[in-house]
Structure 1
């Protein structure tokens, strides 16, 4: 029976996320991840052949987790588009508060994590995630980009300010994003 891996992909990605949150995207190197994990560099290279593969996996895993929460909120059994948008906007704030390290990964963005150099399978996973989110939002009537503003742009701007300042996201953020979503999306 083979011995279980001592340094799993998730363990190494968790370490990479912590490095990024503490020191920025440039801190995520193969040797830094190995050092911070207490792993031999071969363990990192065995799972991620390049830094681009490591960073791409970090981004895609984070985006998958984030979108799962957002799509769940947008898909909840509500007949009213406004209520669905408010739920989605609130979920973004809540997710970022509860997952502050991973929220820093989203704040960095895929370009800072070498998007152009990601291996094709990772880039393909990202494209599928983007299609999945578009499909979840397609059921909402989007006049002049109001849904995107209500669900993505406003909550993103609110949390971004606090994440960049390395502050906790205040409770008032929920009230702000909910009020904005209600103002942008008519009931019904």
Structure 2
């Protein structure tokens, strides 16, 4: 049986994640990742042909991990308001349980070199964006939304507000308070309360 590679992609990406979480995307260089992983530089280049490829994989692996749970939360309960609340709670719980990953996502894709990403990486990013858009559209239809203002309010309630709850602690290094899940849920429900329809 062949031995698994000593320095596989996940191990190198884990090292890159810690670097980015600690000092931002500029800290993620091929040499720095090799040193952090205790790997020869050649091992990094074997897995990732360029720094841009490494940054793209780091971002995509991280955001896909987050989106998997968030999308599942949104599609869970049959009550759309409960689904929205579950999505808001997931943002906080995931950020607390995956703090380095959450810190990575404080930056935008442009900070991870998106302008130079390969076509496969861009396709993966678009697929994730489309999945988020589809989930929000389904939730909005269940709530009976009407007009752009109500759709913007849904985005604020389900996406932007929960991120605001965790952004401060992530940036300052402070713990995310235990009450933050409840705060995110109650705020999301309050924003959704005045929307048209409110579902079935």
**TM-score of the superposition, structure 2-length normalised?**
0.89
2:153 corresponds to which of 129, 146, 153:
146
**2:98 aligned partner:** 99
CA RMSD of aligned residues (A): 1.3
Aligned length: 187
**2:22 aligned partner:** 22
How far 1:133 sits from its partner (Å)? Answer: 1.3
Q: Deviations over 1:83-120 (max 9, x none)?
A: 11111001000000000010011012211111111111
**1:113 aligned partner:** 112
Question: Runs of 5+ in structure 1 lacking a partner?
Answer: none
Distance 1:157 1:117 in 2: 29
How far 1:2 sits from its partner (Å)? Answer: 4.0
SS in 2 for 1:185: helix
How far 1:68 sits from its partner (Å)? Answer: 0.3
How far 1:123 sits from its partner (Å)? Answer: 1.3
How far 1:6 sits from its partner (Å)? Answer: 0.6
| 2:68 matches 1:68 | yes
Question: Runs of 5+ in structure 2 lacking a partner?
Answer: none
1:157 corresponds to which of 144, 158, 164:
164
How far 1:45 sits from its partner (Å)? Answer: 0.4
1:176 corresponds to which of 170, 180, 183:
183
142-151 or 7-16, larger mean C-alpha shift: 142-151
| 2:13 matches 1:6 | no
SS in 1 for 2:176: coil
Distance 1:177 1:146 in 2: 15
Distance 1:6 1:119 in 2: 26
Q: Deviations over 1:139-160 (max 9, x none)?
A: 1125231221111100111111
SS in 1 for 2:90: helix
**TM-score of the superposition, structure 1-length normalised?**
0.95
Q: Is the 8 A contact 1:89 1:181 kept in 2?
A: yes
